[in-house]
Amino acid sequence: MSDCLFCKMASGEIQPDVVYEDDEILAFRDINPQAPVHVLIIPKTHIATLNDLQPEQAPLVGRLFLAAKQIAAEEGIAERGYRTVFNCNAEAGQAVFHLHMHLLGGRPLGWPPG
């Protein structure tokens, strides 16, 4: 999608602080980090929200989690603990309408979220 910020990152038009990339996935540091480790992991294909996910895209979501696991290990938070979050639509605070997983860690994370 031409006017989507994360599509522009996936295509290389905008260059974020990348921590992982493969043919289908890009992961980069959040510009406004909420924890010492705050990485966004996105599919390169445009999916607006979790509500738009299709059954045939299930393996892609699995790969997002495998990337999160690898990045958590590389960032040194795998054993301490971390959180993965997808915000969907207004009440969850979704601001960028291109599916993304937040990977958060490096400090104690409160539960339940506010």
Q: What positions carry a catalytic annotation? A: 100
Least distance in angstroms from the C-beta of 62 to ligand AMP: 20
CA dist 100 and 111 (Å) reads 21
Residue 71 and residue 39 in contact, taking contact as beta carbons nearer than 8 Å? yes
Q: Environment class of residue 24 by beta-carbon count within 10 Å: exposed (0-12), middle (13-18) or buried (19+)?
A: middle
DSSP letters, 1-37, are -TT-HHHHHHHTSS---EEEE-SSEEEEE-SS-SSSE
Least gap, CB of 5 to ligand AMP (angstroms): 6
Q: Judged by CB under 6 A, which of 4, 8, 30, 49 binds ligand AMP?
A: 30
Q: Which does 1 bind (CB under 5 to 8 A by kind): Zn ion, ligand AMP, none?
A: Zn ion
Binders of ligand AMP among 41-100, rule CB under 6 A?
87, 93-96
From the list Zn ion, ligand AMP, none, partner contacted by residue 75 (C-beta under 5 to 8 A by kind): none
Task: By CB under 6 A, name the binding residues for ligand AMP.
Answer: 5, 16, 30-32, 40, 87, 93-96
